Chains A and B, each alone.
Chain A
Amino acid sequence: MVRTALLKVIILGDSGVGKTSLMNQYVNKRFSNQYKATIGADFLTKAVDVDNQQVTIQLWDTAGQERFQSLGVAFYRGADCCVLVFDVNSLKSFQALESWRDEFLIQASPSDPENFPFVVLGNKVDVDDSKRQVTQKRAMAWCQAKGNLPYFETSAKEAINVEQAFQSVAVKALQQGEDDNLFNDNPYGNVDLEPHETQAPGCNC
C-alpha cells in the first residue's frame, strides 16, 4: 500500500479529566491553564512515523458531557483505536472507564470487539501525590483484566509520557487499521456530518 494510512482515534473519558489538554499537548505541544469545556467533538490531525511508515492520526476529542453520548454512533464509527482517559486524582473518573468502554463498543460496533485496541491514560500525575485517588497498581490491574490494555500515566501539563502514550496509540491503531482495511477504507466515510444541515436551517421545520 502506497497511500498514507489515516487512522481515526477517539478519546473518551469523564468531563474535566484532560482529554483536550492531552491532545493539545501531543499535537501542538502546548498546555493551557484555561478551563474550557469542549463542544460536541473536535479533531486534530498529526502525522507520525510508525515503524518507518508515515501515518496520519486523526484524533477525535469528545465532550465528556453525558448528553453527547448519544452522538457516539456518528463519532465512534470507523475508529481504529480508542483512548480512555481518567484523572488519577478522581476515583469517579476511573470507575467511569468501564461504562465509557462499554459505550464505545456498543456504539462503534467494531468487527472484533474482544480485541479492539484501547489505550488507557491516567492523566494529571503532576498533581501532588497526596491527592491521588487511583494507584498505578489499581489502574494496571483493571487494564490487565480488560485484556491487557496498555496503560500510561501522563501529565498533559508537564508533558509527561504524552508522546510515548500516543506513539503506542498510533502503533495499536495502525495494527487495527491494517486489519480493518478490508472493511473500512475511508475513515471519513462513516462520519456523516450531513452537509445539507449547514445550509438553510429553516428548511425542515
Chain B
Amino acid sequence: MPPGTLSLKQRLAALALAPSSPSTYDNDSSGSSLRSTLRKKAQQHAPWLKRREDSTVEPTDSQVEQVQQVLSKVIFQAGVDYEVVLNASALPDPDVVSYDLLLSRILAYLNLYVEADYTVVFFAAGSNHTPGWNWVWKAYRSLSRKYRKNLKQLYIVHSSFFSKMLFSLAGAIISPKFFSKIVYISTLSELAYHVPLTQIDIPPTVYRENLKYEDKITLPVPTRSNVFGVPLEDLMGFDGEKGGLPRVVRDCIVYIHQYGLLEEGLFRRSPSSALLRAAQDAYDRGNVVTLDSFGDPHLAAVLLKKFLRDLPEPIFPESLYPTIHDCPPPTKDLSDMNSVTYIRESLLPYLTPCAYILLSHILQLCHDVAIRSATNRMDDYNLAIVLTPNLVHGSNPMRDVAISAVAGVPALAARNPLVAAAEGKTTLGSIIALCIRRYYEIFDEIPDRADAGGSTLVSQSQSHTSFLSSQQLSPAPSEASYVIQDEDEEDIDDEDYGTHAEASGGAPGHRSRKSVQLSQQQQQQQQQQNLQFGGASPPSAWSTAAAGSNGKRHRTTPSGGTTSSGVKSMHTVLGEGSTTGGVGTHGRAKSVISIDKGSGAQGHRKGTISVGRGTTRKSIGSGVEAVGITAEGFFSDPKGAPPVPPRSSKPGSP
C-alpha cells in the first residue's frame, strides 16, 4: 500500500501505473514486490492465505500483470465522492487469473478509500465466471472492520441469484449492521436516484443487462446534454467557437485512430444495435463514456455515421444539389485539378463553418482509413458509398440515393434506376470519394486531431472536458488558407508568426526523438517547443492566399484547453507541387521523413501522409515558402509496407 501521506489522487495514480499490458503466462519470473504485499496482507487479514501461499506457486510477473489488467475493469472509481464501482461481469476466468492475487489487489484498492466514508456500487450481473464460494468466503473474511465501518452504502445493481445469496448469507451470519447498508437496485434509472449515474463509466455488459429490465434509462433530474439530433451550430458554435468537435465525434475519431484503422469493413459493417443505442444514450445523457470499454471499432464508426445522419440540417443541404451536380466529374488523373478546384472554391465555401470543420475531420479520418485499404478493404469508393448517404437528407429520399451514388462503381444491373437517375451529373458520392482520395489538396487546414489524440491519456479521467479546444476558421470562399489554433490560452499577436517561424528552424533537432510515423500527437509535442509557423503559400489555383496574408486571417481563441498553453499550430495546405519537404531531416535515423512524388526517394513508403504532414509543418517554418505534396501514390497498394499505426505511441514510448 502506498504511504498514507500521498493524496488519494496520487495513490490512485500509483496504482494505475502498475503494469497493465497482457503477457503470456510464464512461471519462471518473480514478482517479489507484489508477493511481499500479498504476504503482508495475508498476515494482516487472513491467516489461511498465508498457509496457502506457502504451498502454491508464487505469483509471477505475468500473473501480476494479468491481475492488474482485469483489476481496472473489476473495480474502479466513479465521481468525486469516493464511490467505488465493482463490476462482476469483468471477473476473469479463474483458470487464467489468480483469484487470490486479485483479491489482494481489490483490497489494496479499497484501502485507498476506507479511511473516509465511501460508497460501493456493485454491478452483479453479466458475470461469465462466478468465483467459488471458497473465494467469496475468503474475501469476506478479509474485509476487516475498517472496510465495513466507513462504508456508507452498498448498492447492488441487477442482483443475480448468486449475489443475493452471497449478501444475505453475509448479512445473516455476520453483521446485521452491514446488512442494513445494502440496497438492491434493479435498474440503472433507479441507481441514478442514489448516485450520480453520469459519472460512472458503465461497462457495456451492464448496459446490456439493463435492457432486460428497462428500455430506457431515465435520470431523476433530466440533465439532457443531447448530442445526437442537435443542430451542429448549437454543439460547435457557428464558427466552431464552442470548443471544437462534439464530444462523441472527437471520441470516435480518436478511438478509430487508435484501434480501428485496420478493421475490415470499417464504416460498412454494423455493431451490435443494442450497444449502439446504449452508447448513443450515454452520450445524450452526458454520461462518461469510454469507447475502449465497448471495444468495437465498428461501434465508433457507426456512431459517427449516426451522428451525421441525425443532424437536423445535413452537411450538404438540398439547396446545394445543383452545385454538386455542376462539379466537373472527378477523374483518376492526379494532375486534373478541375474538380478539386471546383470543390474547394465553389462547393465547400457554401458549408457552414462548423459543418466544414466536422466534415474535414471525418474525411481526414476516412483518408487515413482509405490508405490502409489493403488491410481494411475500405477504399475511397467504399467509404464514399457508406458515408455519403449520411451527409444528405433532402425532401425526397430517392433523390438522396441518387446523389449519393458513386460514379465508377459498376452496378449489378445495367439499369439501376437509382444510379441511372444521376447519370451525366456529378454526384456527391463521387465528390466525397475524391475528397477522401485527395484530402490534403481539397481541405485547407489540417484539422486538429492532434489535440484530440494528444489528450487521450488525460481524457480517460476527464472526458467531460473539451480537449479539442477551439479551432477557428473562416471559410470565406476567396481565402484558401485557414488557420487553426488549438489549445491556445492567450492571444498571440500576428507578428509572432514571423519570429516563431524563424525559431522553428531548429525543428529537426526536436524531431530526432520521433519515430518514423509522426503521429499528430507527437507533432503536438513538438509544438510544445513553441514552434509556430508562417503559412506556406499554396502553389496552385488557390495561391491567392499568400504567406504574408495569413496573419490577417488568423484569429486567436481563448479557450479552455487543458494541456499545453500558448501552443499554436499553423496548418498549411499541401498542394500539388512536388517539392521535397523536411529540410534537414534526411539521414536522421528516427525521423526519416520525405514528401515525395511517387515512390519515395529514400525508399520511404508511399501513402504515409501523416509523416509527410508532420514534416511539412516544420519545414515550412524553416522558410520553405511553398510546400507541395502530391497525392500520387497515396492510394497505391501499401501491401508491401506494414500498416501505419495510427497515432501509435504515447509521448514517452519509443
A interface with B by C-beta (< 8 Å): 14-16, 20, 23-24, 35-44, 61, 63-68, 70-71, 74, 92-93, 95-96, 99, 192-194, 197-198, 201-202, 205
Contact = CB atoms under 8 A, between A and B. Distances in A.
Contacts of A14: 269-270
Contacts of B390: 67
Contacts of A197: 396, 398-399, 402, 421
Contact of B273 (A15, A20, A99): A99
Given A40-B405, A193-B418, A194-B398, A95 B272 contact: yes
Interface string B195-211: 00000000000000000
A87 to B, nearest CB: 9
A40 B272 CA distance: 22
A15 B378 CA distance: 13
Contacts of A202: 321-322, 325
Nearest to A202: B322
A67 B404 CA distance: 11
11 contacts: A15-B386, A36-B381, A40-B389, A42-B412, A43-B413, A64-B268, A66-B306, A67-B389, A71-B398, A194-B398, A201-B325
A96 B420 contact: no
Which of B273, B305, B412, B418 has the most C-beta atoms of chain A within 10 angstroms of its own C-beta?
A: B412
Q: Top 4 nearest A-B pairs by Cβ distance?
A: A40-B401, A202-B322, A67-B389, A35-B377
Interface in B365-408: 377-378, 381-382, 385-386, 389-390, 396-399, 401-402, 404-406
Interface in B401-455: 401-402, 404-406, 409, 411-413, 416-421, 425, 429
Given A37-B382, A66-B270, A201-B321, 13 more contacts: A16-B268, A36-B385, A37-B268, A40-B401, A42-B411, A42-B412, A71-B397, A74-B397, A193-B417, A194-B398, A201-B325, A205-B318, A205-B322
Contacts of B325: 201-202
Nearest to B419: A39
B605 interface: no
B321 to A, nearest CB: 6
B309 A67 contact: yes
A139 to B, nearest CB: 18
B272 A20 contact: no
Contacts of A16: 265, 268-269
Contacts of A40: 389, 401-402, 404-405, 416, 418-419
B636 to A, nearest CB: 17
B653 interface: no
A41 B389 contact: no
Contacts of B418: 39-42, 193
Interface in B544-558: none
Nearest to A70: B397
B401 A37 contact: no
A67 B409 contact: no
A68 B397 CA distance: 9
A121 B522 CA distance: 48
B324 to A, nearest CB: 9
Nearest to A45: B413
A15 B321 contact: no
Interface residues of B, number: 45
B421 to A, nearest CB: 5
Contacts of A71: 397-398, 401
Contacts of A43: 412-413, 416
B130 to A, nearest CB: 23
B56 interface: no
A20 B412 contact: yes
A66 B305 contact: yes
Greatest chain A CB density within 10 A among B318, B401, B406 is at B401
Contacts of B272: 92, 95
Given A68-B389, A194-B398, A205 B305 contact: no
Contacts of B429: 39
Contacts of B5: none
B302 interface: yes
A143 B397 CA distance: 32
Nearest to A32: B410
Interface string B108-123: 0000000000000000
A42 B389 CA distance: 16
Contact of A15 (B270, B318, B319, B411): B270
Nearest to B378: A35
Interface centre among A38, A64, A74 (most CB of B within 10 A): A38
Contacts of B319: 205
Given A42-B412, A44-B412, A194 B321 contact: no
Given A14-B269, A37-B386, A193-B417, A67 B305 contact: yes
Interface string B160-187: 0000000000000000000000000000
A65 B319 CA distance: 24
B271 interface: yes
A39 B396 contact: no
Interface in B315-354: 318-319, 321-322, 325
B396 A68 contact: no
Nearest to B275: A92
A40 B404 CA distance: 8
B226 to A, nearest CB: 19
Nearest to B320: A205
Contacts of B377: 35
B157 to A, nearest CB: 24
A181 B555 CA distance: 68
A39 B425 contact: no
Nearest to A43: B413
A201 B425 contact: yes
A45 to B, nearest CB: 8
A63 B389 CA distance: 11
A152 to B, nearest CB: 21
Contacts of A64: 268, 270
Nearest to A193: B417
A37 B318 CA distance: 24
A96 B273 contact: yes
A104 B356 CA distance: 36
Contacts of B416: 39-40, 42-43
A39 B385 contact: yes
Contacts of A39: 385, 401, 404-406, 409, 411, 416, 418-419, 429
B300 to A, nearest CB: 15
Contacts of B305: 66-67
Nearest to B376: A35
Contacts of A201: 321-322, 325, 399, 425
A36 B382 contact: yes
B2 to A, nearest CB: 43
Contacts of A35: 265, 377-378, 382
